[in-house]
Chains A and B, each alone.
Chain A
Amino acid sequence: MKKFLISAVTAALFVGAAPAGAATQIDFWHAMSGRLGELLQEQVDKFNASQSDYTVVATNKGNYSEALNAGIAAFRAGEQPDILQVFEVGTATMMAAKGAVKPVYEVMAESGLTFDPSIYLASVAGYYTNTDGEMLSLPYNSSTPVLYVNKDALKAAGLDPEMDLSTWDKVGTAVDALKASGSKCPFTTAWQSWIQLESFSAYHNVPFATEENGFAGLNTELVFNSPLQVKQVEMLGQWAKDGKFIYAGRRNEAGTPFRAGECALMTESSAGYAGVKKEATFDFAIRPLPYWSDAEGAPQNTIIGGASLWVLEGQTPEEYKGVASFLNFLSTADIQAKWHQDTGYLPITTAAYEQTKASGFYDQNPGTDVAIIQMTGKAPTPNSKGIRLGNFDQVRTVIDEELEGVWNGSKSAKDALDSAVSRGNELLRRFEQANR
């Protein structure tokens, strides 16, 4: 009986696998969970239904760090997937892994499919492109920091809810008025290193690190302790001391009090839009990230966060062909426009942006185009293309630690940034040594 069962099951499996057996399987490991995971699966299903040569199998491998680890461990064991989603912090690690990573431009060229890198938004694709202009990974989910405004809170403080908040001076005036009228949380920020230092530097066209923010070489050194960045951190430190800036945590913890209506202003990723829209019981608006009007060249463009898709080495040419056609499929305007509208992530191609604009989505959902305008307003400079640092996760931790020292009043802005630079540089030198 048992034997019969086993053979029956085996037979059933074979029968079930037969149609799929004809198609080449493409493994795609990702870190999207919840609603984002469902949307990703939808894209994969659409691709699988659209053709019969390839079957993409998408698997969630946990959060970003876990997915990266799973990919690395699998590579070491020779069991790597074809496509791995890696967050922006892991970009330098992936780039340095020559022999493990097959650059996207190469995959595309070998596949013989048409591939035009110019259809991608320069400021998004630039983050994942080398200095020779070759695209190394395909941008997938990219966001950029914007300012969220609780209009009801501004009104309650006697301010015009439509007031100009484009510069830090003006935000300062608003914050003062909010505090004076008894607001418990006039301003807060998520992702302090990414928004208040990395994007801040790009937005003001000042370098975050030498060697084009690390794009041009592993011998990069941090330089985010220049007077402009010190001024920004000093201002926030003073606000923290006066109870005008409430620090909530290193990641996106600030979203909780903002969505609950406790905080009036918040700088957060544009991808936080879905959550705010769902939970906020107040009138809110999305504004561009503020800048210092006296800084030359500001506002430049902000930089992205999020993740991109990397193709790993060691697969058959047939699989790479499938990968190429899947990546092309993901870049089509329909897929990108839907992804952009559903999630608040940026569309990665100009066509998807134009299509969304034509559909009237931005008119119905005011503020959803702020991020993309802010990203594409000016052609990126070496200071605003992106940031590519080794051991970036540890560097961010160092920055978080030092900034917390400023927020709780135990360190001056200058000391904290100087110390973050020298501690961060040690981590960069270590990465350089490991990847010589």
Chain B
Amino acid sequence: MEKRVTFSNPWLPYLLVAPQLVITAVFFFWPAFRAIYQSAFIPDPFGLRTQFVGFANFEYLFSNPYYRASFLTTAMFSILVTVLSMSFALWLAAMADRVIKGSGAYRTLLIWPYAVAPAVAGVLWLFMFNPFTGIITWSLAQMGYSWNHGLNGGQAMALVVLASSWKQISYNFLFFLAGLQAIPKSVIEAAAIDGASFWKRFWTIVFPLLSPTTFFLLVVNVIYAFFETFGVIHTITQGGPQQSTTILVYKVFADGFVGQDLGSSAAQSVVLLVLVSILTVIQFRFIERRVHY
């Protein structure tokens, strides 16, 4: 039977959702609309004059082979960040869920990194991996491995992926842990009585029952990797060496915020907007089918 809440006043439900709608309109729809509008112009930074150019900003972008290449970089970066932060968070959540003594302390410590701003997280990792003075660089050198993410594109990518994932693990951990605790103990106990090992129980019972959480986190993490990681990249690599860590959102930031090319920056935002919309639609159309609520 379907549950239905009834309101005596027909306007009350609208009033209750109004704050959220207003916030969405002011902070999401209005800026998105402005970005779309601005992408058709080449303005000067001070807003003194502006020229209508139609789709020329997009033409300029897509005629640039370096911009096209940054799609691939972005895809690789996003996949790595999402997979790494989600799988690690899931593992930690599964472990923390088993802890009986002192679980509160473990959880607090695991959630801690989420309070760190992206740029600060970047600086922390940069300290450890500084090609000259970093403690990890030094340890790696002892093992005969030379680390210089300033020149080695692969290492630079690994570092920004690590820093970005590390920050997101806490968030994912929180949701996974809540998801795990919502799974009825009786199901797991029944399997345990039948002799299923911890990992067997995990993969056949827990993981499928967690799928709504996993799916939600997948969407959120992809969006995180696409939009919120420029602080980390700006502090660690500034997109280099060469273009090996120039992901799309970093270029939006660098061209718009640092370089004052607002037309191109707006066009790039629109491209990102479309790309993430498509990805989200794909996720809901094809992956959500496999989710059991």
Given contacts A99-B46, A100-B48, A430-B60, contact A391 B242 (CB under 8 A): no
Contact partner of A72 among B45, B153, B239, B241, CB < 8 A? B45
Residue pair A400, B240 in contact (C-beta under 8 Å): yes
B42 at the interface (CB under 8 A from A): yes
Residues of chain A lying within 8 A (CB to CB) of residue B148: 247
Residue pair A401, B151 in contact (C-beta under 8 Å): no
Residue pair B150, A249 in contact (C-beta under 8 Å): yes
Q: How far is the CB of B45 from chain A (nearest CB, A)?
A: 5
In angstroms, Cα B43 to Cα A436, docked, is: 11
Residue pair A76, B47 in contact (C-beta under 8 Å): yes
Residues of chain B lying within 8 A (CB to CB) of residue A76: 46-47
Residues of chain A lying within 8 A (CB to CB) of residue B243: 401
Residues in A351-397 with C-beta less than 8 Å from chain B = 391, 393-394, 397
A257 at the interface (CB under 8 A from B): yes
B130 at the interface (CB under 8 A from A): yes
In angstroms, Cα B150 to Cα A250, docked, is: 8
Contact partner of B132 among A260, A397, A405, A426, CB < 8 A? A260
B152 at the interface (CB under 8 A from A): yes
- 7 tightest A-B contacts by CB? A404-B241, A257-B132, A100-B46, A408-B151, A394-B259, A393-B259, A65-B258
In angstroms, Cα B60 to Cα A68, docked, is: 25
B97 at the interface (CB under 8 A from A): no
Residue pair B43, A401 in contact (C-beta under 8 Å): no
B28 at the interface (CB under 8 A from A): no
Interface set of B (CB-CB < 8 Å, partner A) = 42-48, 51, 60, 64, 66, 130-133, 148, 150-153, 238-243, 254-255, 257-261, 263-264
Given contacts A248-B131, A257-B133, A260-B132, contact A423 B66 (CB under 8 A): yes
A159 at the interface (CB under 8 A from B): no
The closest CB in chain A to the CB of B60 belongs to A430
Contact partner of B44 among A65, A97, A402, A426, CB < 8 A? A97
Residues of chain B lying within 8 A (CB to CB) of residue A68: 260
Given contacts A247-B150, A248-B132, A404-B151, contact A97 B263 (CB under 8 A): no
Residue pair B150, A69 in contact (C-beta under 8 Å): no
Residue pair B241, A434 in contact (C-beta under 8 Å): no
Q: How far is the CB of A259 from chain B (nearest CB, A)?
A: 10
The secondary-structure label for the interface of chain A is: helix
Residue pair B44, A435 in contact (C-beta under 8 Å): yes
13 additional A-B residue pairs with CB within 8 Å, beyond A65-B258, A248-B132: A68-B260, A97-B44, A250-B238, A256-B133, A262-B132, A391-B259, A391-B261, A400-B240, A401-B241, A408-B151, A408-B242, A434-B44, A435-B44
Residues of chain B lying within 8 A (CB to CB) of residue A430: 42, 60, 261, 264
In angstroms, Cα B42 to Cα A394, docked, is: 16
Residue pair A65, B46 in contact (C-beta under 8 Å): no
Residue pair A434, B43 in contact (C-beta under 8 Å): yes
Residues of chain B lying within 8 A (CB to CB) of residue A405: 241-242
15 A-B pairs whose Cβ atoms sit less than 8 Å apart in the complex: A75-B47, A93-B45, A97-B46, A99-B48, A247-B148, A250-B238, A251-B238, A256-B130, A260-B132, A394-B259, A404-B151, A404-B240, A407-B241, A430-B60, A434-B51
Residue pair B46, A253 in contact (C-beta under 8 Å): no
In angstroms, Cα B261 to Cα A68, docked, is: 13
Residue pair A394, B151 in contact (C-beta under 8 Å): no
A285 at the interface (CB under 8 A from B): no
Q: How far is the CB of B146 from chain A (nearest CB, A)?
A: 10
Residues of chain B lying within 8 A (CB to CB) of residue A433: 42, 51
Residue pair A434, B42 in contact (C-beta under 8 Å): yes
The closest CB in chain B to the CB of A426 belongs to B64
Residue pair B254, A394 in contact (C-beta under 8 Å): yes
A58 at the interface (CB under 8 A from B): no
The winner among B148, B150, B264 for most chain A CB atoms within 10 A is B150
Residues of chain B lying within 8 A (CB to CB) of residue A119: none
The winner among A251, A393, A397, A434 for most chain B CB atoms within 10 A is A434
Q: How far is the CB of A98 from chain B (nearest CB, A)?
A: 8
In angstroms, Cα B153 to Cα A405, docked, is: 10
Q: How far is the CB of B153 from chain A (nearest CB, A)?
A: 8
Q: How far is the CB of B195 from chain A (nearest CB, A)?
A: 56
In angstroms, Cα B238 to Cα A72, docked, is: 23
Q: How far is the CB of B31 from chain A (nearest CB, A)?
A: 14
In angstroms, Cα B198 to Cα A381, docked, is: 77
In angstroms, Cα B253 to Cα A393, docked, is: 12
In angstroms, Cα B258 to Cα A90, docked, is: 10
The closest CB in chain B to the CB of A405 belongs to B242
Residues of chain A lying within 8 A (CB to CB) of residue B153: 408
A96 at the interface (CB under 8 A from B): yes
Residues of chain A lying within 8 A (CB to CB) of residue B257: 65, 69
Residues of chain A lying within 8 A (CB to CB) of residue B238: 250-251, 397, 400
In angstroms, Cα B66 to Cα A247, docked, is: 23
